[in-house]
């Protein structure tokens, strides 16, 4: 155990401290201390000022909370942002995105696109994200270098994809990465069967066996559209979620992304299996995919986390904005103004995401012994006044431009809105160059 008398590395003195666990708590005149990358002190400000700390940081007008957790996305697709907008899902995928990926996606694309996504997410208060995209080893390298935390999900499909000739090669890559990074402090490897309509039973059974052997999470697009469910029932007589249950994939390690189509049988399967649902409201709205019944799921005891999806279908990686949309949409879908209140919305964007990824013992809330994954939101601006409930103000009246500071495992990655490890100008210029290339425009001299 660390010596409680040892000096703190950093003492934060915010206006409000929102730990998320216990639920609904807002601490005023409190401080948070960090030692060796871990939260070592939470207590009254007056007591904290008597402690020995290497650095003391006053954060007037700021709310500190756990770092936001983006539970679903395709990081490198930032380079396809706005490429094929205002189209339904299957047209968007089959006629635009998949052909663009076949033409452009290579290791350099994934490296540059992932860097762009990490930078955008850090500037928006995200300290951990889940990524499902090609060349996952490259994504791991970028995460490692950046200092952010991530679940890297190895994509598996029945047909060739960039970086893998078939599902067996994808699974081989996944197992190798899982073993290589088993002790990495910030990277967790998961298996990512793309969707029920792109992965057959044989490969799903292989995934289940490997996931069981490794105790690995499974991350999958499920029931994203009514068409997907209708087509499955028409062809097989079975809803996709029921099929996944029959094959043994559902369970506490299963992350069902989207779930816009949920009947009573689906709900029962989710509850009984203790599977998590990853809600992506803005992508679902933009692609007209449907509405995930978040309040019903929550009241039934299902763990619901939140994701942005990729920037090609959202078009940003703004989890704070996503959470506001989720809270508003949940009320409309449930027909109740009390559905998904601000405190629960913040929990969905933090601790629920950690729980879905199986890392709730490490992150997702501000508790002693957990990693110091922290975001400081500046609520001192004109648009946040007056403040009656700072969490309500954060969810309903604050944008990601109010993110001032971000720490991951105690390392400051955003300081006064500036990235500490990444060159924002260089990232912007690289993204512009990719955009000109993909659009067929001449390179600038």
pTM given for the model = 0.97
Residue with tokens 């996504």: 117
Q: pLDDT means per 10 residues in the chain (445 residues)?
A: 74 98 98 98 97 98 98 98 90 91 96 98 98 98 98 97 97 98 98 98 98 98 97 97 98 98 98 98 95 98 98 95 98 97 98 98 98 98 97 98 98 98 98 95 67
Q: Mind listing the pLDDT tens digit for each residue in 155-201? A: 999 999 999 999 999 999 999 999 999 999 999 999 999 999 999 99
Among 158, 313, 286, 132, which residue's Cα sits nearest to residue 221? 132
* 168 and 184, same domain (yes or no): yes
Residue 205 in any domain: the answer is yes
Q: Tell me, yes or no, whether 141 and 17 share the same domain.
A: no
Predicted local distance difference test score (pLDDT) of residue 390: 98
Tokens describing residue 345: 């919305």
pLDDT at 445: 55
Whether residues 74 and 48 share a domain: the answer is no
Domain CATH number, residue 304 = 3.20.20.140
Task: Write down the pLDDT at residue 444.
Answer: 63
138 and 233 fall within a common domain = yes
Could you tell me if 20 and 148 lie in one domain?
Answer: no
Based on the fold, state whether residues 14 and 86 are members of the same structural domain.
no
- Please count the structural domains in the chain: 2
Q: 135 lies in a domain?
A: yes
Q: What local confidence, expressed as pLDDT, does residue 93 receive?
A: 87
- 150 and 47 share a domain? no
Dihedral sign for Cα atoms in the order 65, 67, 70, 75: positive
pLDDT tens digits along 15-37: 999 999 999 999 999 999 999 99
* pLDDT of 89: 83
Q: How far is CA 77 from CA 132, 136, 279, 400, 428, in A?
A: 10, 13, 19, 20, 15
Is there a contact between 379 and 329 (Cβ–Cβ < 8 Å)? no
Evaluate whether residue 306 is within a structural domain. yes
Residue 435, domain member (yes or no): no
Q: Among residues 402, 368, 358, 369, which one has the least CA distance to residue 384?
A: 402
What would the two tokens of residue 44 be?
Answer: 């009254």
CATH number of the domain where residue 386 is located? 2.30.40.10
Does one domain contain both 185 and 280? Answer: yes
For residues 295 and 336, is the Cβ–Cβ distance under 8 A?
A: yes
Q: What distance in Å separates the CA atoms of residue 146 and residue 61, rounded to the nearest whole number?
A: 28
Residue 429 lies in a domain: no
Q: Is residue 73 part of a domain?
A: yes
Do 52 and 146 fall within a single domain?
no
Q: How far apart, in whole angstroms, are the C-alpha atoms of residue 125 and residue 1?
A: 30
What range defines the domain where residue 195 resides? 68-357
**310 and 380 both lie in a single domain:** no
In a domain, 431, yes or no: no
Quick one: which H or E segment has residue 128?
strand 126-132
From first CA to last CA, the distance across the chain in angstroms is 58
Cα(332)–Cα(97) distance, rounded to whole angstroms? 31
Give the CA distances from residue 155 to residues 112, 195, 417, in Å, rounded to whole numbers and listed in that order. 19, 10, 33
Residue 305 and residue 382 in one domain: no
Are 237 and 214 members of one domain?
yes
Residue 88 lies in a domain: yes
């Amino acid at each position: 155990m660390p010596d409680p008398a040892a000096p703190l590395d950093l003492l934060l003195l915010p206006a409000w401290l929102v730990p998320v666990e216990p639920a609904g708590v807002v601490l005023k005149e409190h401080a948070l201390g960090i030692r060796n990358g871990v939260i070592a002190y939470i207590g009254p400000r007056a007591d904290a000022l008597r402690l020995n700390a290497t650095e003391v940081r006053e954060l007037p007008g700021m709310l500190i909370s756990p770092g936001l957790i983006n539970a679903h996305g395709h990081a490198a697709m930032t380079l396809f942002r706005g490429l094929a907008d205002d189209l339904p899902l299957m047209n968007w995928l089959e006629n635009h995105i998949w052909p663009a990926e076949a033409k452009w996606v290579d290791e350099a694309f994934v490296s540059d696109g992932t860097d762009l996504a990490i930078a955008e997410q850090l500037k928006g208060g995200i300290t951990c994200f889940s990524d499902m995209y090609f060349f996952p080893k490259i994504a791991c390298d970028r995460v490692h270098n950046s200092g952010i935390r991530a679940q890297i999900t190895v994509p598996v499909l029945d047909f060739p994809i960039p970086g893998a000739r078939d599902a067996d090669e994808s699974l081989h890559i996944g197992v190798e990465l899982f073993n290589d990074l088993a002790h990495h402090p910030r990277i967790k490897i998961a298996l990512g069967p793309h969707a029920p309509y792109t992965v057959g039973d044989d490969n799903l059974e292989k995934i289940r066996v490997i996931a069981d052997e490794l105790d690995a999470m499974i991350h999958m697009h499920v029931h994203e559209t009514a068409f997907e469910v209708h087509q499955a029932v028409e062809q097989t007589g079975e809803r996709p979620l029921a099929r996944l249950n029959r094959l043994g994939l559902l369970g506490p390690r299963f992350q069902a992304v989207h779930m816009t189509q949920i009947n009573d049988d689906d709900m029962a399967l989710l509850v009984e299996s203790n599977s998590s649902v990853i809600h992506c409201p803005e992508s679902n709205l933009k692609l007209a995919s449907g509405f995930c019944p978040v309040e019903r799921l929550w009241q039934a005891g299902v763990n619901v986390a939140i994701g942005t999806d990729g920037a090609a279908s959202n078009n940003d990686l703004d989890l704070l904005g996503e959470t506001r949309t989720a809270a508003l949409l949940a009320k409309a879908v449930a027909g109740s103004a009390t559905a998904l209140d601000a405190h629960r919305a913040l929990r969905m964007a933090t601790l629920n995401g950690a729980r879905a990824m199986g890392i709730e013992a490490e992150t997702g809330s501000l508790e002693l012994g957990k990693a110091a994954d922290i975001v400081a939101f500046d609520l001192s601006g004109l648009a946040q006044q007056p403040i009656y409930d700072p969490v309500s103000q954060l969810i309903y009246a604050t944008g990601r431009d109010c993110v001032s500071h971000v720490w991951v495992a105690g390392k400051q990655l955003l300081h006064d809105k500036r990235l500490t490890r990444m060159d924002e100008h260089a990232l912007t210029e690289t993204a512009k160059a990719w955009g000109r290339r993909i659009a067929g425009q001449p390179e600038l001299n």
